[in-house]
Amino acid sequence: MQDSAPQTTYRADYRPPAFLIDTVELDFRLDPAATLVRARLAFRRNGPGPMRLDGQGLALLEARIDGAVLPEARLGLGADGSLTVADAPDSGMLETLVRIAPEKNTELSGLYTSGGNFYTQCEAEGFRRITFFPDRPDVMSRYTVTITADRARCPVMLSNGNPDGSGGNEDGTHWVRWIDPHPKPSYLFALVAGDLVDVHESFVTKSGRQVALNIWVRRGDEDRCGHAMDSLIRSMRWDEEVFGLEYDLDVFNIAAVSDFNMGAMENKGLNVFNTKYVLAKPETATDGDYQGIETVIAHEYFHNWTGNRVTCRDWFQLSLKEGLTVFRDQEFSADQGSRAVKRIRDVRGLRAAQFPEDAGPMAHPVRPDSYIEIDNFYTPTVYQKGAEVVRLIHTRIGAAAFRRGMDLYIARCDNRAVTIEDFVAAMQEASGVDLSGFMGWYDQAGTPELTMEDRYEPEARRWVLTLRQAVPPTPGQPDKHPVAIPVAMGLLDAGGAELPTRLAGENEAKPGTRLLMLEAAEQSFTFEDVAAPPVPSLLRGFSAPVKLKGVSQDRLRFLAVHDTDPFVRWESGLQYATALMLQMVAARQRGEAPGFDPALEEAVRNTLRGAEADPAFAAEALSLPGEGFVADQMEVADPAAVHAVREGLRREIGRRCGDVLRATYDALAEAGEYRVDGRSIGRRALRNACLAYLVAAGETGLAEAQYAAAGNMTDRLAALSLLADAEGPAREGPLADFHARWRGDDLVLDKWFSIQAMSSRADTPAAIRTLYAHPDFDLRNPNRARSLIGAFASGNPLHFHAEDGEGYRFLADAVIALDPINGSIAARLVGPLGQWRRQAPGRAALMRRELERVLAVPKLSKGTFEKASKALA
Ligand code: 0A1
Ligand code: ZN
């Protein structure tokens, strides 16, 4: 247990900082065991209160104001590591000298070493682990950074902004200076130093600025940076074209590091990336990896305006930068390939991660009201739901008004730390549309449920649609009010043709999709001149992140074939299959045979017939709802039954449709050069979807052959993941081969761990323990920890929820071992134990027991404490 319960921070308690810092001069003498950091802060009073500087684990060697040494009596060192200076003048120069030990920093927050090089991570509160500072985003300063280090150890030394001189010293060290002309909050500070090589390009902005682009990697990785560089250049061009936003420094540096807590970080002019989101070549990276790189490169680049130039007043406003930037990277990716397939994948991701979060113990609004550890709020809700809320506004006011709103937002808020109200106000002013109904999306947790009912009046030739909404209660928010829900919709006739629509009160019918605004708890919409009962297609493009209820199975089957909107076609198939699987699970629980719906065979054949037109879409349409998604629809989840039903369905589809699946598989065999473009990716996805059904029906040999012959990681891994569920040599041979081939490549070896962690074989619980003890397993490396522990707990519901509780025990053991090393990753991994309320009583009790065991650990990190205690509350 904690010695004392950690403090909660409340949004309502926000006060402006007592002091601002206009300029910062930082002087680093890098040494892994003892780095010296000298800081000169030009401070100025801004409001009432003492001069309090955040700090954590810093050894203070010296402190002066305006040159005069501060006596100890004026320095208060807090238990949390902070420093209070008594009787500070209203302005002046504060100078401190501190010592830190980067090589001992296993949390990977602040300044740390990885592979002998130095890297920083400051968001959200890591800067205080480097020097004393008011470490909050509403203190924006201009930084000058000088770095000195051993020349042989650190030939490359980088920081934010533009380079401003370098030189040698007689003692074998050298120095460089960087100046960032743009004011920024401390969380955007970065330093990278070490033995790195760069892949470089140049870019000319639309107004003619020459920008040097560099990607810094470890020697030997230079041949894997092409896709990242290409994605960066496309992102820079896209932001100019779509939002008129141009890069604002002479250099843009990206450094890749293999020990990193998250995906990447948007530090001004010096992005630091997890190697996973930079390095790729066809032999080592899957199509999914390529797409991940494109997305994350774009995301971090787009932060330069949405996050860096315009930043957040406080961490409660995190979605101001994250929701908006995810929206921007989604739009970028949609413009690079198939918009419909991108939307389908994003919605899949939202439902897999955000919907469960919104229904669980950590449910929080897009703009939270309180936190214990801010690191715990880099969540699917803040990111993905936040992006959906920006999309709601975009849908409501249209692309042109949205662009005007962005222009206004940036013009007004440039170089300022602002709030979500500032963003919404700009959108409202630019569009002239009252957006107050959208604020509930920011401040209420929980996924709204939308129900539909309709009635046709033949004499009046009128069709009436009634929509109702309800936002479920969530922790701390028992009562909710209605929000503004844009419902994009259309009507089809019995033959599947799109009907023009005229709402009561309108003069003319409109063709195609139209937008209904549901703003109250219940609203009816009357459509005139409707000749016969129509089939409504609702929530086209997933126009709002809600759960739509009340669409009949008959209509779903019809829409899955006929709707003009590809999203609704996919969605209807998914919902149809989900309802079917739920019935099958119920039958199984009653001890009955689950049966098989011939409509599924029909759907698979139909999809494969039209697959050539858009193979990526066909691959999406072919994949059955995931086990987690189906279990999420049940009052009490039954992971084993869901798994059995899904596997049974896959086998049955594989058997019944073997002829067409095999024909498609053969027809899509790789011909010619390997390419990573949308169409080629789609063809591989479809081919591997066919392979999965064929293997489910017993054709293991096909996967063995594909594994052996594969010329790229996508096909090799698709085959291996199927073989990981097989018996005997079909499994052991390829797994051993994969390990032998790739044991020197961390990113590929992560895949080897994940595949085994997600296997449905009966011996997986034991295998997990063996893998945990494997010489290649390393708890200190976040990617490796996630590849085994995270993949198992989140990607293997069957075994994680094993009746004997062994899966839960494994997770708790791992979290307890990891917490003192890296509390932030431990806190992330503990999450799945929080879903106990949705499990049967026996398993729920076992999950609770493990949460209690975690909570009983002395000196638990704040983050893990927050997750585990809220899960039990
Ligand atoms: N702002 C980054 C995400 C990020 C957040 C926290 C980190 O360390 C604890 C690192 C990165 C992004 O949105 O990409
Ligand atoms: Zn971000």
Mutate to test the pocket of ligand 1, among 297, 378, 828, 861 (most ligand atoms within 8 A of CB): 378
Ligand 1, atom nearest to 121 Cα: 8
Helical packing angle, 598-609 and 639-656, nearest 10°: 60
Return the residue whose CA atom lies nearest to atom 9 of ligand 1.
Answer: 123
Same domain assignment for residues 566 and 690:
yes
Question: Quick one: how far is CA 426 from the chain centroid?
Answer: 26
Residue 143 CA to ligand 2 center (angstroms) comes to 22
2 lies in a domain?
no
Ligand 1 probe mutation, 119, 130, 135, 262, most atoms within 8 A of CB: 262
Is 216 among the domain residues? no
Q: What's 347's domain CATH number?
A: 1.10.390.10
Rounded Cα gap, residues 20 and 448, in angstroms: 41
Q: Write the ipTM.
A: 0.98
- pLDDT tens profile 242-251: 999 999 999 9
Q: Which ligand is nearest to the CA of 112?
A: 1
Ligand 1: nearest atom to the Cα of 325? 13
User: Is 202 domain-assigned?
Assistant: no
Please check the confidence at residue 2 and state whether its pLDDT lies above 90. Answer: no
How many C-beta neighbours within 10 Å does residue 134 have? 24
Whether residue 280 lies inside any domain: the answer is: no
Residue 814's pLDDT band (cuts 50, 70, 90)? very high
Residues 266, 188 contacting (CB under 8 angstroms):
yes
Around ion ligand 2, residues with a beta carbon closer than 5 Å are: 322, 325
Nearest to 309 by CA among 407, 231, 415, 233: 415
Whether the predicted pLDDT of 4 surpasses 80:
no
What is the pLDDT, as a whole number, of residue 670? 81
Q: What is the pLDDT of residues 575-619, one digit of tens each?
A: 999 999 999 999 999 999 989 999 999 999 999 999 999 999 999
The verdict on 326 and 473 lying in the same domain is no
- What span, in angstroms and rounded, lies between the C-alpha atoms of 703 and 619? 18
CB of residue 107 inside a 6 A radius of ligand 1: no
Residue 3 CA to ligand 2 centre (angstroms): 34
Q: What is the pLDDT of residue 1?
A: 46
Gap from CA of 276 to ligand 1 centroid (Å): 14
What per-residue confidence (pLDDT) applies to 517?
Answer: 98
Q: Is 265 in the pocket of ligand 1 (CB under 6 A)?
A: yes
The string of DSSP letters for 618-630 reads HHHHHSPPPHHHH
Give the mean model confidence (pLDDT) for residues 680-688. Answer: 97
Q: Position 618: which residue type?
A: A
Distance CA 633, CA 422 (A): 37
Which atom of ligand 1 lies nearest, measured to the CA of 383?
Answer: 13
As a whole number, mean pLDDT of residues 695-705 equals 98
Residue 671 has what pLDDT?
78
Q: 666 in a domain, yes or no?
A: yes
Helix axes 287-302, 318-336, angle to 10 degrees: 130
Q: Is 373 in the pocket of ligand 1 (CB under 6 A)?
A: no
Is the CB–ligand 1 distance for residue 266 below 6 Å? yes
Q: Please tell me the number of the ligand nearest to residue 297's CA.
A: 1
Query: Closest ligand to 315 CA?
Result: 1
Domain match, 424 and 510 both: no
Q: Are residues 51 and 183 in the same domain?
A: yes
Boundary residue ending a domain (421, 443, 465): 443
**CA geometry: angle at 689 spanning 688 and 690, to 5°?**
90
300 lines ligand 1 (CB under 6 A): yes
Q: What is the pLDDT of residue 672?
A: 81
* Atom number, ligand 1, closest to the C-alpha of residue 375: 9
Same domain, 570 and 532: no
Position 721 in a domain: no
- E-strand stretches of 229-309: 251-257, 264-265, 270-274
728, exposed or middle or buried, with CB in 10 Å at 0-12, 13-18, 19+? Answer: exposed
Contacts of residue 1, Cβ cutoff 8 Å, sequence gap at least 6: 855, 856, 857, 858, 860
Asked if residue 432 and residue 360 are part of one domain, the reply reads yes
The CATH code of the domain that includes 474 is: 2.60.40.1840
* CB of 872 closer than 8 Å to CB of 848: yes
Residues of the chain with pLDDT > 70: what percent?
100
Question: Which residues 6+ apart lie within 8 Å of 554 measured at CB?
Answer: none
**Residues designated as active site:** 300
- Asked whether residue 560 falls in the same domain as residue 530, the answer is no
| Token couple for 656 | 């019944």
Whether pTM > 0.90 for this model: the answer is yes
The CA–CA distances, whole Å, from 153 to 31, 38, 234, 547, 600 equal: 10, 21, 34, 55, 62
Band the pLDDT of 3: cuts 50, 70, 90: low
**pLDDT tens-digit series, residues 455-489:** 999 999 999 999 999 999 999 999 999 999 999 99
* Nearest CA, atom 11, ligand 1: 265
244 domain-assigned: no
Could you say which of 683, 698, 713 is where a domain stops? 698
Tell which atom from ligand 1 comes closest to the C-alpha of 264.
Answer: 14
How many helices (H) and strands (E) the chain has is answered by: 30, 33
What does the pLDDT read at residue 5?
Answer: 81
pLDDT over 60 (residue 781): yes
Q: Give the total number of structural domains in the chain.
A: 5
pLDDT at 722 over 80: yes
CA of 774 to the centre of ligand 1 (A): 30
Mean pLDDT estimate for the chain: 98
Q: Among residues 673, 698, 723, which one ends one of the domains? A: 698
Pocket test for ligand 1, best of 123, 129, 299, 306 (most atoms within 8 A of CB): 123
Ligand 2 center to 392 CA (angstroms)? 19
Domain residues for the domain of 747 are: 743-873
Residue 718: helix, strand or coil by DSSP? Answer: helix
Q: Is the CB of 123 under 6 A from ligand 1?
A: yes
Q: Which residues contact 297 (CB under 8 A, 6 or more apart)?
A: 228, 231, 232, 235, 254, 264, 273, 277, 278
Q: What is the mean pLDDT of residues 125-151?
A: 99
* Residue 324: its H or E element: helix 318-336
- The bound ligand whose nearest atom lies closest to the alpha carbon of 126 is 1
- Taking CA atoms only, the protein residue closest to ligand 1 atom 3 is 265
d(C-alpha 710, C-alpha 203), whole Å: 36
pLDDT band of residue 718 (cuts 50, 70, 90) is very high
Which atom of ligand 1 is closest in space to residue 321's alpha carbon? Answer: 13
Q: Is the link from the previous residue into 124 a cis peptide, with omega within 30 of 0? A: yes
Q: From ligand 2's centre to the CA of 322, what distance in Å?
A: 5
| 678 and 607 in a common domain | yes
Residue (of 118, 156, 125, 114) closest to 37 by Cα position: 118
The DSSP symbol for 71 reads P
Residue whose CA is closest, atom 5 of ligand 1? Answer: 123
Q: What is the CATH number of the domain that holds 129?
A: 2.60.40.1730
**C-alpha 611 to ligand 1 mean position (Å):** 38
Q: Looking at the structure, do residues 655 and 777 belong to the same domain, yes or no?
A: no
785 CA to middle of ligand 1, Å?
A: 18
Do 687 and 578 reside in the same domain of the chain? yes
Instruction: Give the pair of three-digit tokens for residue 440.
Output: 């509930």
Ligand approaching nearest to the C-alpha of 271:
1
Residue minimizing CA distance to atom 1 of ligand 1: 265
Distance 295 CA to ligand 2 centre (A): 11
777, two tokens? 């397993």
Torsion angle of the four alpha carbons 421, 427, 433, 434, in this order, in degrees rounded to the nearest 10: 0
The Cα 638–Cα 631 span in angstroms is: 7
Residues 759 and 856 both lie in one domain: yes
Are 174 and 168 within 8 A, CB to CB? yes
pLDDT above 70 (res 436): yes
Residue 539 beta carbon below 6 angstroms from any ligand 1 atom: no
Amino acid, res. 726: A
The arithmetic mean of pLDDT across residues 385-414, rounded, is: 99
Q: Do 97 and 124 belong together in one domain?
A: yes
Residue at 469 is within a domain = yes
Q: 263 alpha carbon to ligand 1 midpoint, in Å? A: 7
Residue of the CA atom closest to atom 4 of ligand 1: 265
State whether the beta carbon of 264 lies less than 6 angstroms from ligand 1.
Answer: yes
| Mean pLDDT, residues 19-30 taken together | 99
| DSSP secondary structure string for all residues of 788-824 | IIIHHHHH-HHHHT-TTSHHHHHHHHHHHHHTTT-HH
